[in-house]
Each structure stands twice: as C-alpha cells, then as structure tokens.
C-alpha cells in the first residue's frame, strides 16, 4: 500500500507504472472491499483493507501482498471486473492502495463510472492480450507507459493499442473529470450565477 497517498488532480495524459495482475472473471465489489468496511467515515483507511477476505484466505500469497508487487500502480484484470453492488468504496480502496489505472477485458458499468469520477482511467484490451500480459507477469515485472492521448501502452517488450471511451478520454485530457477542482477554479462564475438567480437574493435583509 502506498504510504503517501496523493489523489490525482486536474488533467493528465501520461500514466507510468509497475503492473500488478489479478486473474479471474467477475471479481465483484464485495471482494474488492468487503461490506464491513463500508461503515468508514472517510475513504483514507480503505487501502489497507482492499481484498481483505481474499488476502486472509491466501495467507500472504495474494497479489496485493506479494513483495514483488510492492509499488505497483497499474492493475491488469479479466472480464466484468467490478460487478456486483454499486459501492464507490471499491475504486476508492484500489486508489488508496496505489492503483492509478486499470487495464482489463471488460468492466461493470457502475464500477467504471465510479473509477472515472475519482481519476482512475479504465482501459480495455482483447482477452488474448490480457492473458499475454498476465502470463508475462508470472515471471517478470512489467513497467508500462500509458499515453492517454494516443491510447497506447508500451514497455521494452510490449506495445498495445488501448480502448477507452472517447468521452472518458476527453475528461482526463481536459481535467473535466475533477469536478471539485473545476468548481474551485470557477468560484467567480458560481457567485455571479447565484447573485443573478431570481429566487435568491443574498443582498436582501431579513426583518
């Protein structure tokens, strides 16, 4: 787990990082972050609890526990990743562990949207390409350079053309995914709009 968590801010076009593989179809949000952790007041502590039940079952042999995967930030998954309930805690937990991007065969729609909303791009590749990467990761570390503008991922041994929804791609390149920053950048426009609303008058006095 990353000790110095820094959430993404604004626009970005490059993601470089070490890959970590999680093999299996239909990995749901309850496995990503079990329901008992949903009582948290904020998301800050979720990183250490990601895949908690699976990790306990595998007793240190889960990919998220292996020393070779320490510092990984690009998650490689199979099909229908993030299915199940719509809990936003799942991508929040992954991000706080250190995941900055996910490459998979396919994603559950709500999980995908929740990832985009917090700045985690989700890319797709054909099954054969995913299996090729996962097989390689069984023996060696893999560092990928992801270019959002070109929709490519490359390393010394691989180069892939990634698929990502055009609307999502534009949001990351422009920074529009980051709603909080956009609001803070446009406080004057927001105040002007409030002042011009016919049913709100901040200058009026109440008797």
Predicted confidence (pLDDT) at residue 5 exceeds the cutoff of 90 = no
Backbone φ and ψ for 185, nearest 5 degrees, come out as -75, -20
pLDDT the model gives residue 3:
44
Residue 103 corresponds to which tokens in the numbers above?
A: 């490459």
pLDDT at 110: 96
- What pLDDT does residue 2 have? 41
pLDDT at 41: 64
Q: Cα–Cα distance between 139 and 183 in angstroms, integer?
A: 46
Please tell me the least confidently modeled range out of 27-36, 99-108, 147-156, 189-198.
189-198
What's the alpha-carbon Rg for the chain, to the nearest Å?
20
What is the pLDDT, as a whole number, of residue 1? 43
How many whole angstroms separate alpha carbon 24 and alpha carbon 83? Answer: 12
- Six token digits for residue 93: 């937990």
CA distance 80 to 74: 17
21 C-beta neighbours (distance < 10 Å), count: 21
What is the C-alpha to C-alpha distance for residues 164 and 170, in angstroms, rounded to an integer?
Answer: 10
The domains found in the chain, sorted by start residue, are: 14-175 (3.20.19.10)
Q: Is the pLDDT of residue 203 over 60?
A: no
9-27 pLDDT, tens digit per residue, is 889 999 999 999 999 999 9
pLDDT (tens digit per residue) in 157-191 = 899 999 999 999 999 999 988 765 555 555 665 56
The Cβ-side half-sphere exposure at 183, using a 13 Å CA radius, reads 3
pLDDT digits (tens, 9 = 90+) for 138-151: 999 999 999 999 99
Name the pTM for this structure: 0.85
pLDDT tens digits for range 40-88: 766 778 889 999 999 999 999 999 999 999 999 999 999 999 999 988 9
The model's pLDDT over 80-133, given as tens digits with 9 standing for 90+, comes to 999 999 889 999 999 999 999 999 999 999 999 999 999 999 999 999 999 999
pLDDT value of residue 29: 96
């Amino acid at each position: 787990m990353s000790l110095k968590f820094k959430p993404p801010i604004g626009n970005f076009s490059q993601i470089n990082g070490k890959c970590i593989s999680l093999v299996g179809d239909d990995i749901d949000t309850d496995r990503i972050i079990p329901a008992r952790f949903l009582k948290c007041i904020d998301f800050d502590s979720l990183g250490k609890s990601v895949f908690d039940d699976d990790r306990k079952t595998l007793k240190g042999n889960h990919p998220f526990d292996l020393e070779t995967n320490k510092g990984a930030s690009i998650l490689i998954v199979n099909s229908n990743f993030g299915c199940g309930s719509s809990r936003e805690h799942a991508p929040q937990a992954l991000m706080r562990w250190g995941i900055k991007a996910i490459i998979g065969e396919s994603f559950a729609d709500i999980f995908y949207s929740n990832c985009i909303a917090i700045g985690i791009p989700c890319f797709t590749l054909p099954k054969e390409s995913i299996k090729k990467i996962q097989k390689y990761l069984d023996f060696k570390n893999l560092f990928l350079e992801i270019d959002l503008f070109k929709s490519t991922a490359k390393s010394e041994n691989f180069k892939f053309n990634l698929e990502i929804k055009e609307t999502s791609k534009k949001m990351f390149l422009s920074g529009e995914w980051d709603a909080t920053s956009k609001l803070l950048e446009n406080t004057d426009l927001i105040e002007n709009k409030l002042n011009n609303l016919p049913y709100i008058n901040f200058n009026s006095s109440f008797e």
